[in-house]
């Protein structure tokens, strides 16, 4: 066994930030450059900008009409109109210069009549300077147009140019080297073999740097060779304003990077009490900030946002893009350790006037949960967790206005939910579907707790043989509920292509490796119910305890030959090109409190269910019946 | 006189939008293109994206440690540790593949001891699949990663690449031709002569198009020649997805553009009941939207936001960047006509817990007020105005969090306010100064009404000869107030360089053209008081009625030879390179309710007043005394 440095020295988040900022403060000076105004959109002024000329540049007509000498219009009135002859007036358009002896403009609308080509009759005397825009009315030469530290907007560009400014001084966009490392890394699109990992973190970081106002340069993955890594780091800390080096996720690899950084400069922090993101390295080399970013995508993201973004913001002087904080009610208890501050990804929904936050997968490797997240719930290092139902602060990473038009679905998983979430925004104008997969029973519980709008369910009542309605009546006694009809679907055993073990039905599962669904999933309940009817004890099924959270996860395990069979839907087997042995048909519907039916985004959801595009998609997925998609069945419980 | 089409046919805003959208609907199809994922930041997916491979690609270690065969670890416990020999285990790092016969990982921390190089002792049995990330744990091949219509974020790029996607389909950025017109237009930086206008609107529109997700191409100004304009429009409606043509501001010029558009296609709307922005033209040529944008900068901005941005958003499918709406108390009565919906630019401040909105200059040519605006107060076409003190909806165009850290100054004008607004954000971390110039008396009234934090004033008490404190005591009886000491400054007559009229003092003003300050300005009060003492009737001063709102505006009028003299401060004369005849010294201070002194942004304001940088700036401006900048004088009224 190689020896490992198992315990990183770990610091609280705030202390790590302070130490890093202190170590950097002699070096962190924002540099500026001179650029053209017409290329300055979104840049930050590094000093105040003063107008070089006035606007308007000269006295000019504010209206279309005639320029007059005000003195010569005295006495004109409705009852005593006055006729002016050229050159006592001259026709002007808006913006035309008004030169002496003219000192006022009469609007075209106020000219009573044009007597002949060179004479007009007016009905009002003109006061001096009426309808004349004096030189500098808008901008006076020498006046400050923009202060320093101002992010340039489209309107600023227009006014700078009008004020005679063609170039100005702005803070540079700091250059940031983004260096992935690891011999096992392959570039996206390269052939994949077991053991290889698609290098994607650097591309995420590159994009994050762009959003922070930096100019990233992404390197090809550097193999784990001490000298190559060292010379790369030496090179970039000379040429760039900052470097992000993506270390491996292992303690061994971190140490490797840390010891090179220690050789080249000062490792200020190695290990922070943050989850995900703990093995981050904060170093200063050549006076430049170098951040060792952990290799798990969620850790990489949080390490960037927590430690890199603030430093980049100081270098670029671009405003930190603060995520807004909202109060939301937590739907599940969260337990967290006193060892770290934890960032828990959550889905946010607005249900019945309040915001609810449902925790997502917490693993550092669960990048999809980062894509699916609407925000982060932060559990401080001094907290052991948060109870369900408590109001928590959530850092939003999606627009609140979008969340307010989102149908929150919590319940059973089916591939059609993806299809619907794709269709809804396109068929409506700005309604969305957000779904969390916790199984049918979990879904109904969430619905009962006011944490969702709809619950996708497929629950058989063993007494009546009826789907979904009996369980609603049992759970929601006294409430007005409804069922939005979904699809009929076939459940069956997903098995290897060609069915090599010759599995014919549930009775054959005792002789093969099964993969189950999680407790509370309708498919698990179906499986248990079928086993009971057939008199097969659960313990006789090898792998009964092994759980997967979705139909696709079951299919993936079979596809990968980690399991021989799992119960699931036809479309999952088809998507993975596996064989399928039908076990039974069931009804997959959406339970909803009747009061929500009137919501416009629920109406959009129903429209999507009834749409021709949805049916086309169902046919392509295969294994669905769709006679009554989107029908509403009132259920008075 | 040339004949004019004085009355455009004018439509209510909503009707104009509907007519335009209806005329466009057969043509407005968002096009898509195939691009690399690594270049897709901020683009919008045109269809759902499904994973091409799973992540992880294979079962792999979730921890550093050893891979084991779970069966062979049975029975191990703290009291009965078990020794495993290779090949019953193999060392693994996080991410390493777990291949059969291995089916579980034991963390390095849980290994009791390494007996020899090829043997370890464990103290816990391993359950099957523990600390193993199964294939597809994060992303399952075939699973939807992103729905259509989704704006791509940094995290999405990472996950797309991990899911085996290297290219994807996104909506194009629509190409938009931006065409300025007008023979009098010159390019920024070109030599300016009377009658020429710096063409800046196209650059503002170009930037607005970029912010809306379009790809602008800006043309050089096209002279007002019928055939050239026509051929340009024919050309661009063939090559671009949309065109913005900046017509002149005159009715004549609009008609010119409109009649060309009528010849080439369909002018749907010419003239809308919106102020500013009325002469907008909405047309469809070759199936492409063409918008005739009025030439005044504020009109151009509002015409773009109201009519062009929504169409571009439909073409690009990029989310409309809705401005947030806040409630604010209006500080001044606004009168508006039933002829139009009016967008009034306002400054927003948070004073004593409520947001207050102070209207800015309303002219269509007042581009600086667009730069200075924090938002727009909309007065509907069915409203004749809004009373002072009423709570109104304001469309914010600046971040609320910035506004909450802004010192609101309403009162007398001095060039040092610009200097302070530049210094404050740089000397503090994110405090700002916003100032509106309404004269000393207007400032004190605003302070009394709770519409501002500070009022810059220079008001002499004729009885005592004392500055500022007596008037505070009169106006704020019973309140605890304070004076933040500002600067001593010299007021005097600003006259032509070389003083050609040989003006020696106020007594000489009867023989020259004077330019006055507005009613309520301290400088106006000083002037009146001096005239009274000297026994000069106001009517004897030619130009007494002509008002300018700032010292710089007075200096600009003198510089332009529109006036021979005006009372103002030395720094304004110096900035414009004019001569100055001192008339008297005065104290320019900041009145403040004592309770505001503790606010952190007020403290930052005082620090800026006391800073070395401020004194340096004062010296450069000239004409100031600065013995007690930032001193606090309590004034119990």
pLDDT 10s digits, B188-232: 999 888 788 899 999 999 999 999 999 999 999 998 888 999 999
Contact A432, A405 (CB under 8 A): yes
How close B383 comes to chain A (CA, Å)? 25
Contact between chains at A418 and B195 (C-beta distance less than 8 A) = no
Low-confidence ranges of chain B (pLDDT < 50): 1-7
CA gap A611, A590 in Å, rounded: 16
Closest-approach residue (CA) in chain A for B41? A207
Q: Is the pTM of this model over 0.90?
A: no
Segments of A241-367 assigned E as strands: 242-246, 266-270, 274-275, 281-285, 288-293, 325-330, 334-335, 341-351, 354-359
Q: Which residues of A touch B557 (CB under 8 A)?
A: 134-136
Which tokens sit at B309?
A: 């941005």
How many CB atoms neighbour CB B57 within 10 A?
A: 22
SS3 A113: strand
Closest CA to B304 of B382, B236, B184, B210: B210
Give the distance from CA B316 to its chain's centroid: 23
Contact between chains at B367 and A55 (C-beta distance less than 8 A) = yes
Which helix (H) or strand (E) covers residue A552, if one does? helix A551-559
Under 8 Å CB-to-CB from A68, ≥6 apart: which residues? A84, A88, A89, A102, A103, A104, A105, A106, A122, A126
Contact between chains at A57 and B192 (C-beta distance less than 8 A) = yes
Burial class of residue A99, CB neighbours in 10 A (0-12, 13-18, 19+): middle
Residue A544 has pLDDT above 70, yes or no: yes
pLDDT for position A5: 43
Residue A101 has pLDDT above 80, yes or no: yes
Contact between chains at B203 and A37 (C-beta distance less than 8 A) = yes
∠ Cα B302 B308 B312 (to 5°) = 140
C-alpha to C-alpha distances, A336 to A385, A545, A633, B131, B342, nearest whole angstrom? 5, 25, 42, 19, 54
What is the maximum alpha-carbon separation in chain A?
Answer: 113
Residue A562 has pLDDT above 60, yes or no: yes
pLDDT band at residue A412 under the 50/70/90 scheme: very high
Pairing of strands A455-457, A579-593: antiparallel
Span A205-211, average pLDDT: 96
Contact B16, B291 (CB under 8 A): no
Which tokens sit at A577?
A: 């090109």
How close A324 comes to chain B (CA, Å)? 10
Which helix (H) or strand (E) covers residue A253, if one does? helix A251-264
Q: Which residue reads 């683009």 in tokens?
A: B43
pLDDT for position A192: 81
pLDDT band at residue A253 under the 50/70/90 scheme: low
pLDDT for position B251: 58
pLDDT band at residue A505 under the 50/70/90 scheme: very high
SS3 A565: strand
Question: What SS3 string covers A395-439?
Answer: EECCCHHHHCCEEEEEECCCHHHHHHHHHHHHHCCCCEEEEEECH
pLDDT band at residue A428 under the 50/70/90 scheme: confident
Q: Could you say which of B59, B155, B252 has the minimum Cβ distance to residue A204?
A: B155
Contact between chains at B142 and A97 (C-beta distance less than 8 A) = no
Closest-approach residue (CA) in chain A for B212? A154
pLDDT for position B2: 39
CA gap B600, B479 in Å, rounded: 21
Closest CA to A426 of B47, B144, B322, B22: B47
Burial class of residue B288, CB neighbours in 10 A (0-12, 13-18, 19+): buried
DSSP state of B8: -
Under 8 Å CB-to-CB from A243, ≥6 apart: which residues? A176, A177, A178, A179, A233, A236, A237, A285, A288, A289, A290, A291
Q: Which residues pair with B491 in a beta bridge?
A: B569, B584
Task: Name the percent of chain A in helix, strand, coil, to the closest 5.
Answer: 30, 30, 40
Contact A605, A614 (CB under 8 A): no
C-alpha to C-alpha distances, B332 to B346, B360, B391, nearest whole angstrom? 10, 10, 11
Contact B357, B329 (CB under 8 A): yes
Contact B293, B244 (CB under 8 A): yes
Q: Could you say which of B66, B114, B156 has the minimum Cβ distance to residue A371?
A: B156
pLDDT for position A498: 95
Span A519-538, average pLDDT: 90
Q: Which residues of B touch A184 (CB under 8 A)?
A: 95
Residue A248 has pLDDT above 80, yes or no: no
Closest CA to B1 of A358, A106, A182: A106
Q: Could you say which of A108, A184, A562 has the minimum Cβ distance to residue B6?
A: A108
Burial class of residue B429, CB neighbours in 10 A (0-12, 13-18, 19+): exposed
Q: Could you say which of B96, B136, B425 has the minimum Cβ distance to residue A553?
A: B136
Q: Could you say which of B140, B401, B426 has the minimum Cβ distance to residue A552?
A: B140
Contact B507, B536 (CB under 8 A): yes
pLDDT for position A565: 96
Query: What pLDDT digit, counting tens, does each position of B437-455 carry?
Result: 888 999 999 999 999 999 9
Contact between chains at A57 and B197 (C-beta distance less than 8 A) = yes
pLDDT for position A7: 39
C-alpha to C-alpha distances, A254 to A96, A181, B103, B440, B510, nearest whole angstrom? 70, 11, 26, 64, 84
Contact between chains at B198 and A252 (C-beta distance less than 8 A) = no
- As for the ipTM of the complex, it is 0.89
pLDDT for position A251: 57
Contact between chains at B367 and A95 (C-beta distance less than 8 A) = no
SS3 A173: coil
Contact between chains at A155 and B301 (C-beta distance less than 8 A) = yes
Which tokens sit at A555?
A: 């299919």
What's the mean pLDDT when you consider all of chain A? 90
Q: Could you say which of B162, B205, B322 has the minimum Cβ distance to residue A198?
A: B162
Q: Which residues of A62-97 are buried (b: 16+ CB within 10 A; e: fewer)?
A: bbbbbbbbbebbeebeeeeebebeeebbebbbbbbb
CA gap B216, B240 in Å, rounded: 9
Q: Could you say which of B1, B207, B251 has the minimum Cβ distance to residue A157?
A: B207
Long-range contact list for B228-234, CB < 8 A, 24+ apart?
A: B229/B181, B229/B256, B229/B257, B229/B260, B230/B260, B230/B263, B230/B264, B232/B179, B233/B179, B233/B260, B233/B261, B233/B264, B233/B285, B233/B290, B234/B264
Contact between chains at A365 and B133 (C-beta distance less than 8 A) = yes
Contact between chains at B556 and A136 (C-beta distance less than 8 A) = yes
Contact between chains at A140 and B555 (C-beta distance less than 8 A) = yes
How many CB atoms neighbour CB B385 within 10 A?
A: 13
Span A67-94, average pLDDT: 90
Q: Does A227 sit behind a cis peptide bond, omega within 30 degrees of 0 on the bond before it? A: no
Q: Which residues of B touch A324 (CB under 8 A)?
A: none
Segments of A501-578 assigned E as strands: 516-517, 547-548, 565-569
């Amino acid at each position: 066994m190689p020896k490992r440095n198992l315990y990183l020295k770990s610091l609280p988040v705030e202390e790590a930030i302070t130490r890093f900022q202190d170590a950097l403060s002699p070096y962190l000076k924002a540099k500026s450059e001179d650029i053209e105004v017409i290329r300055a959109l979104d840049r930050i002024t590094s000093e105040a900008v003063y107008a070089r000329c006035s606007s308007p540049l000269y006295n000019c007509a504010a209206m279309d009409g005639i320029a007059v000498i005000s003195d010569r219009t005295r006495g004109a009135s409705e009852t005593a109109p006055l006729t002016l002859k050229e050159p006592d007036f001259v026709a002007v358009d808006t913006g035309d210069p008004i030169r002496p002896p003219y000192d006022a403009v009469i609007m075209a609308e106020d000219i009573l009549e044009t007597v002949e080509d060179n004479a007009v009759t007016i009905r009002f005397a003109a006061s001096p300077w009426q309808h004349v825009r004096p030189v500098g009315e808008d901008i006076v030469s020498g006046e400050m147009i923009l202060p320093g530290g101002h992010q340039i907007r489209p309107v600023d560009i227009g006014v700078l140019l009008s004020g005679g400014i063609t170039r100005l001084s702005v803070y540079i966009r700091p250059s940031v080297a983004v260096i992935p490392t690891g011999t096992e890394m392959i570039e996206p699109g390269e052939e994949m073999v077991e053991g290889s990992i698609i290098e994607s973190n650097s591309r995420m970081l590159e994009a994050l740097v762009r959003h922070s106002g930096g100019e990233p340069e992404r390197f090809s993955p550097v193999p784990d060779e001490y000298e190559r890594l060292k010379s790369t780091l030496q090179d970039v800390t000379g040429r760039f304003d900052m470097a992000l080096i993506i270390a491996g996720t292992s303690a061994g690899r971190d140490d490797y990077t840390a010891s090179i950084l220690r050789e080249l400069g000062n490792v200020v922090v190695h290990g922070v009490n943050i989850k995900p993101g703990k093995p981050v390295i904060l170093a200063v080399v050549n006076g430049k900030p170098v951040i060792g970013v952990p290799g798990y995508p969620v850790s990489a993201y949080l390490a960037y946002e927590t430690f890199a973004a603030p430093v980049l913001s100081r270098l670029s002087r671009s405003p930190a893009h603060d995520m807004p904080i909202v109060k939301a009610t937590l739907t599940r208890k969260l337990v967290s350790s006193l060892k770290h501050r934890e960032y828990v990804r959550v889905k946010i929904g607005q249900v019945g006037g309040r915001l609810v936050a449902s925790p997502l997968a917490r693993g550092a490797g669960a990048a999809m949960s980062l894509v699916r997240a609407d925000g982060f719930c932060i559990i401080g290092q001094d907290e052991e967790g948060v109870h369900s139902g408590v109001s928590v602060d959530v850092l939003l990473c999606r627009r609140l206005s979008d969340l307010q038009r989102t149908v929150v679905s919590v319940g059973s998983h089916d591939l059609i939910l993806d299809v619907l979430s794709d269709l809804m925004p396109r068929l409506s104008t700005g309604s969305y579907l957000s779904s969390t997969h916790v199984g049918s029973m979990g879904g109904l519980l969430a619905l009962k707790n006011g944490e969702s709008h709809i619950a996708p369910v497929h629950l058989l009542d063993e007494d009546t043989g009826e789907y979904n309605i009996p369980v609603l009546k049992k759970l929601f006694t006294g409430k007005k509920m409804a069922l939005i009809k979904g699809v009929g679907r076939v459940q069956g055993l997903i098995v290897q292509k060609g069915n090599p073990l010759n599995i014919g039905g549930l009775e054959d599962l005792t002789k093969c490796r099964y993969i189950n669904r999680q407790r509370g999933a309708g498919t698990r309940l179906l499986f248990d119910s079928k086993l009971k009817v057939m008199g097969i004890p659960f313990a006789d099924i090898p792998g009964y305890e092994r759980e997967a959270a979705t139909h696709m996860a079951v299919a993936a395990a079979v596809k990968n030959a980690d399991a021989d069979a799992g119960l699931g839907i036809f479309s999952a087997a088809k998507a993975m090109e596996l064989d399928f042995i039908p076990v039974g048909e069931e009804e997959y519907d959406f339970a909803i409190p009747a009061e929500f039916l009137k919501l416009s985004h629920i109406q959009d959801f129903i429209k999507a269910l009834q749409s021709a595009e949805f049916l086309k998609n169902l046919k392509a997925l295969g294994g669905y019946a769709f006679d009554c998609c989107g029908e509403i069945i009132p259920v008075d419980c």
